[in-house]
Amino acid sequence: MRVLMHSCCAPCSTFSLALMRSMGYSVSALFVNPNIYPEHEGEKRWLTLWEFASLEGMPVCRVEVGHEKWLETVSADLAKPGRCVLCYRTRLDETARRARDEGFQYFTTSLLLSIYQDHDAIVREAREASRRHSVEFLYFDFRKGYRRSREMARGKHLYMQKYCGCEFSLRGENR
Ligand code: SF4
């Protein structure tokens, strides 16, 4: 049972990976997060995920979409919650497309772990991406492991960011 997990960051991937592995899933991670600003922050999150994946023996790859392109997409509705819905759509659509093209049975996302994200909107966007690309969305309410994921990340000395990702969240706008 192969799953492609969209990984927003290493800390949110800790519990998500452990839970899916305990259920017998073979998990690979995809880092497609053009929302992250500035560039050096995106590098830091990617390198942290890479380090975590190496420690865990989890295949991981990164897809570059480009922050300008992401900005163009979300500019259709810059206020929350619209901006975040478009942001989820961008990342989950690419994940579902890759999952189908690369022969995974399922895709999912570590975004489902965060107690700060719009969980229902993530689920809706994932289901739509699933329909568009004909690949099954594997739903978990990872939020029950949110606290545990922070402990796991601290235990592994992983970098933990203080804001969601985009420049708007960095500046605390409409957060
Ligand atoms: S706050 Fe987070 S989810 Fe919302 S648009 Fe910014 S990066 Fe995306």
84 lines ligand 1 (CB under 6 A): yes
Q: Which of 164, 166, 145, 157 is nearest to 71 (CA)?
A: 166
- Predicted confidence (pLDDT) per residue in 70-109, tens digit: 999 999 999 999 999 999 999 999 999 999 999 999 999 9
165 lines ligand 1 (CB under 6 A): yes
Contact 168, 175 (CB under 8 A): yes
**Structure tokens that stand for 69 in this block:** 């392109």
Nearest Cα residue to atom 6 of ligand 1: 166
pLDDT bracket for residue 22 (50, 70, 90): very high
Ligand 1 atom with the shortest distance to the CA of 164 = 2
**Whole-structure pTM value:** 0.96
Q: Which fold has domain 2-170?
A: Rossmann fold (3.40.50)
pLDDT of residue 174: 56
Q: Which of 168, 164, 166, 165 is nearest to 79 (CA)?
A: 168
Ligand 1 atom with the shortest distance to the CA of 86 = 5
Q: Which of 2, 28, 18, 21 is nearest to 153 (CA)?
A: 18
- Predicted confidence (pLDDT) per residue in 116-174, tens digit: 999 999 999 999 999 999 999 999 999 999 999 999 999 999 999 999 999 999 998 65
Q: Where are the domains of the chain?
A: 2-170
